[in-house]
Amino acid sequence: MAIVEVAGLVKEFDSGKVRAIDSVDLATKEGEYLVLLGPSGCGKTTLLRTIAGLEQPTSGQVLINDTVVTHLPPRARQIAMVFQSYALYPHKTVLGNIVFPLRAARVNPQERQRKAEWAAGLLGIEHLLARKPRQLSGGERQRVALARALVRDPQVFLLDEPLSNLDAKLRASARDELKRFQQEVGTTTIYVTHDQVEAMGLGDRIAVFSQGKVRQIGPPTEVYDDPADTFVATFIGSPPMNLVPDGEKLVGFRPEHLLPATVLNGDAMRIELAVQRLEYLSGDRHLYGTATGIGEPTRVISRLPATVTEPVEPGQTYDFAVNRDKVRYFDAASGLRTTS
């Protein structure tokens, strides 16, 4: 198990015209599953490649277990990286693909076989060892790529959107498998994705990225419940957090906390909700409407679970409310979280 750390990391491209990583400090815990989450182009892949040694930082350092590895070549870092397009050798069998890095490292044949069988067993692909990649499904190919990374006994796994080529159903099961597998081997893993559902499901902690900077790092519940700024508040959560402008501040609340006033007890912030549209989604009702009564009239979304049975019709206005302990405030100018 290892601790990966980056300190004051900057990576520029095009003679400084593009700053892909903008002074990032980040450290994993031992055996942690850390997810880097952010929109396209925010610098996630560049950060992963820099940790792997495939890119040299413009400044700053990469450390593994407190040792500076910034100038070590990739192979000296004991890191295994699985990319979005996990290229397998088409003419080799699954077994041939898995043992390839061991052959390159001149590991003896018995040991190669033993490790390949162990990795294949762990990933549930023992029965596929004689097949060629074209005879596999997307999910099976992904497991072969993981097995190939695993036999190297890496200290660290770097996974760059490894599930992006799979359909939605396979993605969900592959996600479960990945999590189970990582818990079993306990290898420190950094996982890149732009999919917040994936991040919430997989990560011990999530580092939310935007424009080359880490906006927040914390366990899924923390980034969801207590976002550090409006970027995190709206990037995480589907539908995103509602933000109502009120003078110098923004009043934030999650759709599932905007409920009919009649179902809330305790200290609540009252909101008039003029409902325009209603959608049914996985047993919930999503109400699209305009909130008045706090700040400026603003388009908001309320998500009513099946347990809330109050009748709601488009075209009507209702008394809604949000429990005060669910309300979050942000500075309108900087977007940063404030206390009130």
Which is nearest to 48 in space by CA: 190, 218, 179? 190
Under the binding rule (CB under 6 A), the answer on residue 207 touching ligand ATP is no
How many angstroms from the chain centroid is the CA of residue 205? 9
Give the shortest CB-134-to-ligand ATP separation in angstroms: 26
Note whether 215 binds ligand ATP by CB under 6 A: no
- d(C-alpha 327, C-alpha 324), whole Å: 5
Our CB check for ligand ATP shows the closer of 18 and 336 to be 18
Instruction: Name the residue nearer to ligand ATP (CB basis): 46 or 242.
Output: 46
**74 vs 112: CA distance, rounded Å:** 22
Question: Toward ligand ATP, which CB reaches closer, 18 or 105?
Answer: 18
Q: Which is nearer to ligand ATP, 13 or 89 (CB)?
A: 13
Q: Among the candidate windows 44-52, 252-260, 283-291, 316-324, which touches ligand ATP by CB under 6 A?
A: 44-52
- Smaller CB separation from ligand ATP, 208 or 271: 208
Q: Does 335 bind ligand ATP (CB under 6 A)?
A: no
User: CA-CA distance, 315 to 337, in Å (whole number)?
Assistant: 34
Q: Is 38 in the site for ligand ATP (CB under 6 A)?
A: yes
Verify binding: residue 123, ligand ATP, rule CB under 6 A.
no
Residue 43 binds ligand ATP, judged by CB under 6 A? yes
Reading the block at residue 207, the tokens are 């580092």
> Residue 189: which of 145, 148, 142, 149 has the closest Cα?
149
**Closest alpha carbon to 258 in 244, 247, 24, 200:** 244
40 part of the interface to ligand ATP, by CB under 6 A: yes
Dihedrals φ, ψ of 177, to 5°?
-60, -45
Other CB atoms within 10 Å distance of the CB of residue 92: 14
Residue numbers at the binding site for ligand ATP (CB under 6 A): 13-14, 18, 20, 38, 40-46, 194
